[in-house]
């Protein structure tokens, strides 16, 4: 009964909605597209794109068309040098409901819906906005790449009408434990764009380092940015580099959201400015040469808030497209509940005073929130089942009570957020933490070696199939409707990642699965059908020199 009730509230999942549109199937027919489109109708015939083909479009669509032409050549080497074959235009799309949730750029009038039609006479792509047209051209990119052979793409005739289920679809990227250069981040942005993900959440600060310039606090980059995890090289993004990254993302309709993690995860801050640190610094040794700090910025000290305001005033202008600032708020182990609440409420107020909206990890729900605030739900681990993974390492005895206390409190975070009218970004560890080990073996022996060291054993290994075997509404306790969800966001943490190949090996082929769950209106993903679509992504990945786990469970092309 619950599933039927949820799906009615989701406005699209009742098969009767599909039956209003003659010829549209309830489930998508197999096409080499991820995410699966909402409505797809096959037809007889084909259309062939060659180097003599081109795109006809009005001037206002010049930018997304130019990006499409460039990407098609990068995906598979097909240079569309002609002037006909593909027609692109602005036109309404009404057959798919608007997206639920919130946009990271705050654009309430945005519309990403699109139509795509392949007929014997040519290809037509349309949408109500340039962004919608861009999404349609992205689907066409995938079709071209999968059907490309001997310099031509023979596209089967079909009509597709599509749009996102959720407005916020993203990836949280840890650039602290391992510093990823601007070029490496651009590669990640390209991956997001290919799968219609529209948010890059940059985790810019943590215990191991600081990655963003604050001119009034030069030691943050002169001192705190020098390191990363262990002996990895540090670094930071200059203002010019960040401006270029933000612009690069915006050209691909991706919004970059900054995270300044506080009041915990601030060891790097204390290294740069010891006067901000607590009088007594405490840590828990993990027995493997690493430790967990139990220290945080103290809300009762005026210098704390001078620092926070300096940081916000410097960081916010560097991310003009983002309507949100992520304030962290997680894992403030060793901090009293009262101090945590005091800090979150004051920090959130400072963000709002600067014209931005607040997003934070789920622990911020323990404070008083506003209805426009967003809570990122991640801790779906059940403390009563933590011992069920016999292969997981046992935490140090000193850490056990800290973890137990954190997990007990976490059970109430999502309900508290929803009670206050806040929406949730769904980022559950179980399905969307990509720093889990890969369970699938690889056809490549070197990848299998890397697989043994990549990912945190604590979480247990996960298969590629596992990543699409859930639903953001139906699979999470306490969530009754898509209307409670701001969006869906995966996360990649870099404790075990030493460089770009490691990063990509954990991101791919998981990232398309996250996009499937965030975009597609089809809640029940059929693994064999999805694996077929996934396999057909590999030619583009190979041409772009992206690294991906070549799972033996997928028949890669």
Element (H, E) at 397: none
Q: Which residues contact 354 (CB under 8 A, 6 or more apart)?
A: 312, 313, 316, 325
Tell me which of 112, 331, 363, 516 is the catalytic residue: 331
Looking up tokens 């991640």 gives 378
Alpha-carbon distances of 219 from 222, 260, 271, 272, rounded to whole Å: 5, 16, 9, 5
Q: CA 261 to CA 204: how far, in whole Å?
A: 8
Report helix, strand and coil shares of the chain as percent, to nearest 5.
35, 20, 45
Looking up tokens 């995938």 gives 142
Q: Is 56 helix (H, G, I), strand (E, B) or coil?
A: strand
Among 364, 396, 382, 465, CA closest to 429: 382
Q: Which residues contact 74 (CB under 8 A, 6 or more apart)?
A: 543, 544
Q: CA 279 to CA 498: how far, in whole Å?
A: 34
Among 274, 322, 285, CA closest to 402: 285
Active site residue 331: yes
Among 494, 533, 493, 489, CA closest to 511: 489
Q: CA 127 to CA 418: how far, in whole Å?
A: 33
Element (H, E) at 458: none
Pairing of the two strands 114-119 and 54-56: unpaired
Element (H, E) at 285: strand 283-285
CB of 246 within 8 A of CB of 321?
yes
Among 544, 103, 86, CA closest to 323: 103
Alpha-carbon distances of 435 from 458, 474, 507, rounded to whole Å: 10, 24, 9
End-to-end CA distance of the chain: 41
Q: CA 3 to CA 298: how far, in whole Å?
A: 45
DSSP-assigned letter for residue 440? S
- Active-site residue set: 331
């Amino acid at each position: 009964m619950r599933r039927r009730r949820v799906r009615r509230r989701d406005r699209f999942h009742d098969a009767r909605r599909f039956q209003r549109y003659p010829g549209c199937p309830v489930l998508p027919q197999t096409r080499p597209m991820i995410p699966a489109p909402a409505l797809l109708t096959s037809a007889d015939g084909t259309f062939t794109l060659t180097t003599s083909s081109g795109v006809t479009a009005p001037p206002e669509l010049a930018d997304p068309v130019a990006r499409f032409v460039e990407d098609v050549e990068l995906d598979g080497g097909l240079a569309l040098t002609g002037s006909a074959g593909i027609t692109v235009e602005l036109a309404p799309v009404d057959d798919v409901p608007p997206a639920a949730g919130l946009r990271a750029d705050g654009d309430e009038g945005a519309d990403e819906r699109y139509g795509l039609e392949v007929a014997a006479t040519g290809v037509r792509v349309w949408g109500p906005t340039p962004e919608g047209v861009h999404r349609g051209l992205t689907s066409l990119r995938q079709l071209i790449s999968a059907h490309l052979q001997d310099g031509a793409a023979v596209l089967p005739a079909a009509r597709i009408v599509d749009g996102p289920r959720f407005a916020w679809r993203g990836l949280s990227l840890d650039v602290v434990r391992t510093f990823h250069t601007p070029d490496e981040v651009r590669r990640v942005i390209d991956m997001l764009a290919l799968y219609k993900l529209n948010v890059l959440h940059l985790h810019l600060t943590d215990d191991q380092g600081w990655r963003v310039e604050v001119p009034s606090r030069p030691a943050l980059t002169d001192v705190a940015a020098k390191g990363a995890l262990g002996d990895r090289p540090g670094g930071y993004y200059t203002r010019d580099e960040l401006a270029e990254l933000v612009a690069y993302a915006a050209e691909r309709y991706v919004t970059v959201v900054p995270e300044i993690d506080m009041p915990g995860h601030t060891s790097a801050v204390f290294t740069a400015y010891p006067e901000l640190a607590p009088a007594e610094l405490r840590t828990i040794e993990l027995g493997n040469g690493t430790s967990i700090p139990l220290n945080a910025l103290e809300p009762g000290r005026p210098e704390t808030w001078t620092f926070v305001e300096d940081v916000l005033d410097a960081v916010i202008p560097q991310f003009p497209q983002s309507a949100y600032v992520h304030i962290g708020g997680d894992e403030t182990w060793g901090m009293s509940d009262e101090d945590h609440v005091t800090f979150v409420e004051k920090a959130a107020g400072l963000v709002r005073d600067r014209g931005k909206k607040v997003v934070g990890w789920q622990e911020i729900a323990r404070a008083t929130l506003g209805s426009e605030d967003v809570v990122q739900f991640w801790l779906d681990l059940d403390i009563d089942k933590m011992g069920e993974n016999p292969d997981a390492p046992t935490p140090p005895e000193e850490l056990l009570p800290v973890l137990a206390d954190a997990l007990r409190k976490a059970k109430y975070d999502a309900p508290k957020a929803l009670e206050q009218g806040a929406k949730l970004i769904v980022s559950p560890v179980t399905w969307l933490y990509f720093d889990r080990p890969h369970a699938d073996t690889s056809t490549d022996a070197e990848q299998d070696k890397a697989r043994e060291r990549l990912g945190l054993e604590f979480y247990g290994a996960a298969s590629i199939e596992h990543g699409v075997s859930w639903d953001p509404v139906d699979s999470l306790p306490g969530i009754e409707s898509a209307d409670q969800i701001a969006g869906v966001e995966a996360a990649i943490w870099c404790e075990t990642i030493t460089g770009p190949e490691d990063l990509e090996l954990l991101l791919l082929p998981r990232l398309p699965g996250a996009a499937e769950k965030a975009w597609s209106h089809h809640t029940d993903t059929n693994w064999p059908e999805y694996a077929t679509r996934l396999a057909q992504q590999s030619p583009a990945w190979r041409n772009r020199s992206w690294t991906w786990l070549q799972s033996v469970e997928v028949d890669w092309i």
